[in-house]
Amino acid sequence: QKEVEQNSGPLSVPEGAIASLNCTYSDRGSQSFFWYRQYSGKSPELIMSIYSNGDKEDGRFTAQLNKASQYVSLLIRDSQPSDSATYLCAVNIGGANNLFFGTGTRLTVIP
């Protein structure tokens, strides 16, 4: 089992819809969770971090964390074509120095 797992997609949603991205992780003791957005040919950009159970909202983005079920999700409301990118879930596992990244979910927002 990989440390961090994501559905690779592609996930397609129409413009204006809600995009839901999911991520599961292996270490129940993980404390820090991050979502990155990566456009094709570019480096990842941090868009959300979450540390506590529940929801965290930032503009059109909402991160949801459920430590008991070991999943973290990202909701994008009112999806725009500019949201089309690969979204990477990252988890700090076992107090390691580095983050463990999922393979990413490719999102396409259709105009």
**Residues within the interface to another protein (CB under 8 A):** 32, 34, 36, 41-46, 49, 88, 90, 92, 97-99, 101-104
**Smallest separation (angstroms) from another protein to the CB of 20:** 21
**Smallest separation (angstroms) from another protein to the CB of 42:** 7
Phi, psi torsion values for 97, nearest 5 degrees? -65, -35
Give CA–CA dist 72/103, Å, rounded. Answer: 15
Give CA–CA dist 51/85, Å, rounded. Answer: 24
Q: Which is nearer to another protein, 82 or 98 (CB)?
A: 98
Q: Which is nearer to another protein, 17 or 99 (CB)?
A: 99
Q: Which is nearer to another protein, 25 or 34 (CB)?
A: 34
Decide: residue 61, CB within 10 A, 0-12 exposed, 13-18 middle, 19+ buried: middle
**Smallest separation (angstroms) from another protein to the CB of 36:** 8
8 Å CB contact between 88 and 22: no
